[in-house]
């Protein structure tokens, strides 16, 4: 289990939404009377290959993503799947930048600080989501959109999918909510995810694993079969937690700092709690 308090036990979703003006951020007044409750999405969500479903806002997820980003003082985000989460990440990074840039630009060796890199394989969807963003966030590179095709391939002989082109960045938070199962091009021995009974099976995080720094947090939204595939193939010391209530999977790269620069970042962003998790690692499951 991931020995980490992702959000406080008494977290007040409604107050948080009001404090950070989510209605304005998302350009929507569609906020339920009890935003802490998980909503039931249409069953077709998993098999929508046209990005046309008018899905309700999962405000509880967005609140947690915003809080996790600010509380962990995240510097860089890599997001698989553009959406309303992109707007939430951009706002949280802007808050972090305003609060911490003076220290991090002089003390932490990290290029392109406080930027979110959002990857998607639907150009029309990227253009639609861009409308949520004030132009200055795009001009100042708080948010960076990247288009890439998705291909069916293999990882260690296991059929899976990869985005063909990724931004060359070093994130300390990775959010996986894409691609959908109908996106990948090609087949491997006649197998692909383009079938109603299949499920997404991306392996991008596996190919990047050796580049990631201790303290990196990976969040997978739903996609349990994909999360289990990733969990089975990661090779470093990751702690893992699945929240059934939130339907989200969390992986934290729990290793000693690589050196003084990585330690400075961990000290600033995660503090002593990270070292306590590292010290007590035998008390929970490491992959």
DSSP letters spanning 207-263? HHGGGPPTT-EEEEES-HHHHHHHHHH--S-EEEEEETTTTEEEEEE----SSHHHH
At 44 the pLDDT is: 45
**87, 59 in Cβ contact below 8 A?**
no
Inside any domain, residue 30: no
How many domains does the chain divide into?
Answer: 1
Higher-confidence residue of 74 and 48: namely 74
Inside any domain, residue 13: no
At 2 the pLDDT is: 52
Reading the block at residue 261, the tokens are 């620069």
Q: The CATH number of the domain where 118 resides is what?
A: 3.40.50.150
Inside any domain, residue 14: no
Least confident of 36-40, 103-107, 191-195: 36-40
Higher-confidence residue of 273 and 41: namely 273
pLDDT tens profile 5-38? 788 888 999 999 999 988 888 877 666 556 766 6
Strand 115-120 relative to strand 76-80, pairing: parallel
Inside any domain, residue 26: no
Say what the pTM is: 0.90
Question: For a pLDDT cut of 90, what percent of the chain falls above it?
Answer: 67
Residue 6's DSSP bridge partners are none
pLDDT tens profile 238-282? 999 999 999 999 999 999 999 999 999 999 999 999 999 988 775
pLDDT over threshold 60, residue 127: yes
Task: State the residue range of the domain holding 105.
Answer: 56-282
Inside any domain, residue 211: yes
**Helix (H/G/I), strand (E/B), else coil: 111:** coil
Burial 91-102 (b: 16+ CB within 10 A, else e): bbbbbbbeebee
At 258 the pLDDT is: 93
**Helix (H/G/I), strand (E/B), else coil: 126:** helix
Closest CA to 88 of 67, 119, 113: 67
**3, 277 in Cβ contact below 8 A?**
yes
Reading the block at residue 272, the tokens are 């002593």
Inside any domain, residue 6: no
Inside any domain, residue 227: yes
At 9 the pLDDT is: 85
The beta strand positions in 76-224, using DSSP E, are: 76-80, 115-120, 143-147, 150-155, 158-163, 173-176, 217-221
Average pLDDT over residues 54-82: 91
At 282 the pLDDT is: 56
Average pLDDT, rounded, for the chain: 88
Separation CA 58–CA 31 (nearest Å): 9
pLDDT over threshold 60, residue 108: yes
At 34 the pLDDT is: 66
Inside any domain, residue 183: yes
Separation CA 223–CA 200 (nearest Å): 7
Separation CA 160–CA 154 (nearest Å): 5
Q: Which residues contact 234 (CB under 8 A, 6 or more apart)?
A: 205, 206, 209, 251, 287
């Amino acid at each position: 289990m991931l020995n980490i308090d992702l959000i406080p036990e008494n977290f007040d979703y409604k107050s948080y939404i009001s404090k950070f003006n989510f209605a304005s951020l998302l350009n929507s007044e569609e906020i339920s009377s009890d935003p802490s409750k998980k909503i039931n999405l249409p069953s077709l969500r998993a098999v929508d290959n046209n990005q046309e479903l008018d899905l309700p806002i999962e405000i509880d997820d967005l609140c947690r993503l915003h809080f996790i980003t600010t509380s962990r003082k995240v510097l860089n985000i890599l997001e698989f799947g553009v959406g309303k989460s992109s707007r939430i990440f951009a706002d949280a990074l802007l808050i972090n930048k305003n609060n911490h840039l003076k220290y991090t630009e002089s003390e932490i060796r990290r290029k392109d600080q406080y930027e979110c890199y959002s990857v998607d394989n639907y150009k029309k969807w990227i253009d639609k989501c861009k409308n949520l963003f004030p132009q200055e966030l795009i001009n100042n590179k708080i948010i960076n959109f990247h288009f890439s095709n998705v291909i069916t391939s293999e990882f260690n002989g296991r059929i899976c999918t990869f985005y063909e082109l990724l931004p060359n960045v070093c994130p300390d938070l990775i959010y996986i909510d894409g691609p959908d199962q109908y996106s990948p091009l090609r087949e491997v021995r006649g197998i692909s995810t383009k079938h109603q009974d299949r499920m997404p099976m991306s392996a991008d995080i596996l190919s990047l694993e050796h580049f990631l720094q201790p303290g990196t947090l990976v969040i997978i939204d739903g996609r349990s079969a994909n999360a289990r595939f990733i969990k089975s193939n990661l090779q470093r010391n990751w702690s893992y937690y699945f929240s059934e209530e939130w339907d989200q999977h969390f992986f934290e790269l729990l290793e000693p700092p690589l050196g003084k620069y990585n330690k400075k970042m961990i000290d600033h962003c995660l503090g002593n709690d990270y070292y306590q998790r590292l010290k007590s690692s035998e008390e929970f499951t490491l992959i």
